Structure 1
Amino acid sequence: MCGECEKNVLRFETTAVHGDKGFDPLTGSISFPIYQTATFKHGGLNESTGYDYSRLQNPTREEVESTVAKLEGAKWGIGFSTGVAAITAIINLFKAGDHIIVSDDLYGGTFRLFRDIYEPFGIQHTFVDTTDLKDVINNIKENTKAIFIETPSNPMMKVADIKAIVEIAKEKGLKVIVDNTFLTPYFQKPLSLGADIVVHSGTKFLGGHNDTLAGFIATNDEEIDEKLRFYHKSTGATLSPFDSWLLLRGIKTLHIRMEKSQENAIKIAEFLKKHPKIEEVFYVGLPESKGYEISKKQATGFGAMISFKVKNVEDVAKVLKKVKVITFAESLGGVESLITYPQTQTHAEVPDEIKEKLGVTKTLLRLSVGIENVNDLIEDLEYALG
């Protein structure tokens, strides 16, 4: 038996496959059961099995929450109905008059939450280039309470230095929140770099099959965990038992999928940057990428997300129409390769002037690389670009 196993410290891949408990203690079932129930029977007054109502706690959801927490190196994990629901719970940690620094390049749904939903309630924010540490420092105010970073960012693949931002934050008593959706805990562990909270859209790489919606939060801070659990049960944005089971099943192959998708992504990025119709390629794994060195320092992989600009805007519609193996669809992180047009899809509600400033132009496409044969994917892009 391995020395690590004797200490009950399993490596990432083993934890991903077996989950937290490894099996159902009640029946011995290897596939953790779907406890598809809304409520639980009590033996009598003040007698409980530990479960009361599935919005509060459910064995299937607890198993996936504990599994994600272990993979992130966290003490606690909470499963939400969507990634946006998870981010909503995090914003609820703050009150009117508080100020949050937020990555300027990030998912349009997160942008919408800060600007359209919570700004009217008095929670202030400033969108900042979090790859520029001076810009981060210059935007800290007396009422700043946290720094929210998405790294690599969506869709421009900007890489923030998590450890450096943590050092800035700790000097000012600020919390650091990291959206780790793109790299997952397989390639990046923000809590080990000092972050206070990690958030995921579990819909993406954690689930990995484009068949469910989910969100997760992981933390080592007991006070934060208690507050988030209160918002979790009170607002009701909880992960269902069946969706919890789908996430457990997806996570079993997370490490294999991430490795294969990354292997494909590197080859596709190299192909795209040499193509005569491509103006620029944004992929963290290219040595010329601005975030390459930081990524090597704080992550063990580069992921499977690529954005690229075509030289002629007319080629956008042509590519989206002509791809056959790659699917023109929103979302990312599944076994199937998906191509998206941020201008009118993921970032449609971001004002045009901000999109232009970030580089989210009318010629930008975003590609989530799957696990298909890479030659089929390259040939598909070659045909679509031709």
Structure 2
Amino acid sequence: MSDKRLATIAVRTGIDSDSQYHAVVPPIYLTSTYSFPAFGEVPQYDYSRSGNPTRNTLADALSELEGGAGGVVTSCGTAAMNLLVTALLGPDDLIVAPHDCYGGTYRLFNTRANKGDFKVEFVDQSDQEALAAALAKKPKLIWVETPSNPLVRVVDIAALCQQAKEVGCLVAVDNTFLSPLLQQPISLGADFVVHSTTKYLNGHSDVVGGVLISKDAEMAETIAWWANCIGATGAPFDAYLTLRGLRTLAPRMRMHEENGVAVLEYLQQQAMVGTIYHPSLPSHPGHDIAKRQQKGFGSMMSFEFAGSQAQLEVFVKELKLFSLAESLGGTESLIAHPSSMTHRAMSDEAQAEAGISTSLLRLSVGLEDPRDLVADLEQAFHLAAEAH
């Protein structure tokens, strides 16, 4: 484990590593192939699908931030998930996943299970009876998403990892909503951490990528082998941009949280806002767990719109500083309607079971001036209230 603090790791990884021209910022290696030094001598890098210096620098930075032994940067977050289940699971193996996970996660696991690649069971992981029943089936892997997307529910990672260990089960945690600056699942007992690097790690909504990090060095080599085998690795230029974004992660996360607090305080005063979902609220399920295992509450939040469907549509349409879009974690603020957007891959029944209603809206609070964000929400609520 590094003795450097997380912000320093994010800023300094790769800096002053260029031995040829002594560039402070490491160069981008866009090459697809590499020369062999001599016949029969295999170099460290031979082909960029299997290894690339720029991509590896990013993987090293993210692995160090998460306290892992090694990682693989992939073409997207879904590719990182797919890499893990491909490397670990066979037709007779069971994965236990949250019933309220990201829609793309649900689609991937459900579709591959229906093909017979492995078995999957979606359970409410905060329900101890349901979780115990699932663990009694001796799963090979438990997939954890905390805070969850879109209801930001919190799971006790340390407790779940202890339960999993008792039945010989591995645990993977999707840490996308918080980043390693606010939560480090490996330190709580997890075996793997996954991120969609598209989100906070890159932070500028201009790159799609993912990463899979392993606590165990031998397993890190295994997933690297599989990443090369199935072609899951990310592009060097995308890795460069993500590494560039990573250098400002610490100040960005501070501002995301500050702006999130301002927006949250405003929402709590609005008549057209029903239940608000955010781990900082004492009424939020898992609030005490979040205080214990997280270093911050993050700036992702959702709320039930307490008006008609027509008023909801007016509210979303009239927003000027919250773009109606999927994804999250960029400098710009976004609003999403999970039922028809990020979670539309789930059936109506699955959405209902997960607690995703048609009145639910999800906010990714960006880095604009918080006074402008609040003013924008104010004018949109006012126009929605006037609509019939």
Which band: TM-score by shorter chain?
Answer: over 0.9
What's 1:3 paired with?
none
Distance 2:22 2:113 in 1: 46
1:216 correspondence with 2:211:
yes
Distance 2:17 2:113 in 1: 41
Number of residue pairs matched?
A: 380
Q: Choose which of 373, 376, 380 in structure 2 pairs with 1:384.
A: 380
Residue of structure 1 equivalent to 2:386: none
Which position in structure 1 is the counterpart of 2:96? 101
Aligned mates of 1:160, 1:22 — CA distance in 2: 40
Q: Deviations over 1:117-148 (max 9, x none)?
A: 33312411111111223321122244411110
Q: Among residues 60, 65, 76, which one is paired with 2:70 in the alignment? A: 76
1:347 aligns with: 343
Aligned counterparts of 2:231 and 2:10: Cα–Cα separation in 1: 27
CA contact (8 A) 2:145 2:174 kept: yes
Q: Is the 8 A contact 1:269 1:286 kept in 2?
A: no
SS in 1 for 2:343: coil
| CA 351–22 in structure 1, closer or farther in 2 if over 3 Å, else same | farther
Residue 212 (structure 1) shift: 0.3
- Asked if structure 1 preserves the Cα contact closer than 8 Å seen for 2:96 and 2:134, the reply is yes
Corresponding residue number in structure 2 for 1:140: 135
Q: Which structure 1 residue ranges, 5 or more long, are not aligned?
A: 1-6
- The answer to whether the aligner puts 1:111 opposite 2:106 as a matched pair is yes
Provide the rounded CA distance (Å) in 1 between the counterparts of 2:2 and 2:348. Answer: 52
Provide the alpha-carbon RMSD of the alignment: 1.4
Q: Secondary structure at the match of 2:9?
A: helix
The Cα shift of 1:320 comes to 1.7
Question: What is the identity, as a one-letter code, of the residue corresponding to 2:162?
Answer: E
Give the secondary-structure state (helix, strand or coil) at the position aligned to 2:180. helix
Corresponding residue for residue 15 of structure 1: 9
Deviating above 6 A after TM superposition, structure 1's stretches of 4 or more consecutive aligned residues are none
Tell me, in whole angstroms, the C-alpha distance in 2 between the residues paired with 1:356 and 1:118: 21
Is the 1:273–1:280 contact (alpha carbons within 8 Å) kept by the matching residues of 2?
Answer: no
The residue identity in structure 1 corresponding to 2:70 is: W
Match of 2:266 among 237, 261, 271: 271
TM-score, normalised relative to structure 2: 0.95
The AA in structure 2 aligned to 1:341 is H
Q: What is the CA-CA distance between 1:374 and the residue it aligns to?
A: 0.5
Q: 1:237 aligns with which of 213, 232, 240?
A: 232
Q: What is the aligned partner in structure 2 of residue 59 from structure 1?
A: 53
- 8 A contact 2:337–2:360 mirrored in 1: yes
Following superposition of structure 1 onto structure 2, how do residues 203-352 of structure 1 map, counting pairs within 5 Å?
203-312=198-307, 313-352=309-348
- Asked if the contact 2:336/2:361 (under 8 Å) is kept, the reply is yes
Choose which of 337, 355, 365 in structure 1 pairs with 2:361: 365
CA separation of 1:172 and 1:20: change in aligned 2, threshold 3 A: farther
In 2, Cα distance between equivalents of 1:29 and 1:119: 51
Q: Which residue of 1 aligns with 2:172?
A: 177
Indicate the percent of aligned positions where both proteins have the same amino acid: 39
Change (3 A) 1:74 1:22: farther
Unaligned runs of 5+ in 2: 383-388
Distance 1:309 1:210 in 2: 26
- Name the counterpart of 1:374: 370
Q: In structure 2, what residue type is equivalent to 1:239?
A: G
- Whether the 8 Å CA contact 2:69–2:214 is kept in 1: the answer is yes
Shift of 1:51: 1.1
